[in-house]
């Protein structure tokens, strides 16, 4: 069942970019601040790339004969690392209180060494660099490679910022934030990985039901932790329509409910038909791409939410 990344790999991943950026644009329209944030755009791309890397590394957990495309994984991890570096620069400019173009090397260095956000950013960069380097080595020696190291470092890199954000000041806030981030990344990333790797109707028949069984609790975890996080953050239900943060949160919740309903419907239709070999590989791929595009849009909302006061 192992497959190397083909020509559609880049196309599938690139579809996520405009979807995520559209989510950022909608989120900033809801805040009524007039212009989308470059930091939110960079964070959206970083989150989508990180989730994809995590999903590719988790493929063997879904089926023992699914091998990650190491070359694509290495390239995506490298781009993820570069995007996280951009996020770090934007974070530094925000903390210092200057535009990015006016951020000096000294100010950036001070942010990295003296501010917790900078130190966390360095840890994220180290994690993504380790993933990219290991995946590059694994591409040359796939017979001895294991995804365990990639899974650990990718998961830590994805969870570091959420667990040290505003929720960390609440009881069990860091735990909720970590569960929310990792559940969303795995839900999204595994489906992207399937779209990149799975090629035939027979493979979809075997793998899709297993993914569906995993996706259900992941989606439930995202929904529950998202509701708790949101209720802690906002000041009453009226804030859902009276504040920019609340409006983004409401839009995210509506889309999530739509995805949950879609998942329920597809478990009754797509998953059953695919498992019975009554769905072509192309039809399964179209449905997978549609869902990951919507999820990328939600990632754009979430990234903007993370940088919205």
- DSSP characters for 93-148? HHHHTS-GGG--HHHHHHHHHHSHHHHHHHHHHHHHHHHHHHHHHHHH-GGG--SH
* Cα(110)–Cα(118) distance, integer angstroms: 9
- Reported confidence tier of residue 33, pLDDT bands at 50, 70, 90: low
Residues 275-291 have a mean pLDDT of 93
Nearest to 189 by CA among 217, 155, 163, 160: 155
Tokens of 59: 């493929």
pLDDT of 154 reads 96
Nearest to 301 by CA among 35, 31, 54, 93: 31
Question: Is pLDDT of 1 > 90?
Answer: no
CB-CB neighbours of 306 under 10 Å: 17
**CA dihedral sign of residues 269, 272, 274, 277:** negative
Nearest to 286 by CA among 190, 213, 195: 195
pLDDT digits (tens, 9 = 90+) for 59-114: 999 888 888 889 999 999 999 999 999 999 999 998 888 888 899 999 999 999 99
Query: How many alpha carbons fall within 13 Å on the CB side of residue 305?
Result: 26
* Cα(231)–Cα(81) distance, integer angstroms: 32
Question: Is pLDDT of 118 > 80?
Answer: yes
- Structural contact between residues 75 and 172, judged by C-beta atoms closer than 8 angstroms: no
Question: Is pLDDT of 11 > 60?
Answer: yes
DSSP-derived letter for residue 168 is G
pLDDT of 246 reads 85
- Rounded to the nearest 10 degrees, the angle between the axes of helix 281-307 and helix 38-62 is 140
What does residue 22 show for φ and ψ, rounded to 5 degrees?
Answer: -65, -35
pLDDT of 149 reads 92
Q: Pseudo-torsion of CA 256, 260, 265, 269, nearest 10°? A: 100
DSSP-derived letter for residue 34 is S
**CA dihedral sign of residues 31, 33, 34, 36:** negative
pLDDT digits (tens, 9 = 90+) for 232-250: 777 777 778 878 888 888 8
Question: Is pLDDT of 25 > 90?
Answer: no
Residues 179-204 have a mean pLDDT of 93
pLDDT of 92 reads 92
* Cα(309)–Cα(275) distance, integer angstroms: 46
* Cα(74)–Cα(137) distance, integer angstroms: 9
- Structural contact between residues 271 and 208, judged by C-beta atoms closer than 8 angstroms: yes
Domains of the chain (ranges; CATH) run 8-303 (1.20.1630)
Write down the H helix ranges in the chain.
8-31, 38-62, 70-96, 105-114, 116-140, 148-163, 173-197, 201-233, 239-242, 244-268, 270-275, 281-307
């Amino acid at each position: 069942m192992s497959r190397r990344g083909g020509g559609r790999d880049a196309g599938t991943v690139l579809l996520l970019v405009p979807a995520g950026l559209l989510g950022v644009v909608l989120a900033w329209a809801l805040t009524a601040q007039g212009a989308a944030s470059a930091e939110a755009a960079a964070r959206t791309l970083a989150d989508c790339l990180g989730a994809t890397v995590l999903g590719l590394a988790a493929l063997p957990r879904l089926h023992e004969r699914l091998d990650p495309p190491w070359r694509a994984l290495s390239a995506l991890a490298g781009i993820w690392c570069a995007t996280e570096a951009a996020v770090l620069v934007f974070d530094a400019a925000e903390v210092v209180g200057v535009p990015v173009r006016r951020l000096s090397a000294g100010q950036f260095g001070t942010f990295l060494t003296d501010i917790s956000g900078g130190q966390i950013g360095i840890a994220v960069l180290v994690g993504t660099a380790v993933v990219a380097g290991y995946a590059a080595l694994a591409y040359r020696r796939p017979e001895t490679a294991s995804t365990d190291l990639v899974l650990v470092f990718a998961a830590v890199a994805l969870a570091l910022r959420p667990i040290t954000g505003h929720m960390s000041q609440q009881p069990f806030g860091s735990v909720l934030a970590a569960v929310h981030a990792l559940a969303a990344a795995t839900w999204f990333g595994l489906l992207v990985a399937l779209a990149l790797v799975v090629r035939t109707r027979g493979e979809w028949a075997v793998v899709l039901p297993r993914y569906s069984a995993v996706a259900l609790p992941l989606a439930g975890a995202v929904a529950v932790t998202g509701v708790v996080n949101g209720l802690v953050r906002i000041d009453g239900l009226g804030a859902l329509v009276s504040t920019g943060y609340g409006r983004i949160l409401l839009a995210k919740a509506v889309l999530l409910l739509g995805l949950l309903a879609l998942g329920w419907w597809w478990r009754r239709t797509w998953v059953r038909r695919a498992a019975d070999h009554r769905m072509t590989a192309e039809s399964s791929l179209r449905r997978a791409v549609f869902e990951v595009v919507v999820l990328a849009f939600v990632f754009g909302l979430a990234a903007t939410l993370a940088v919205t006061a």
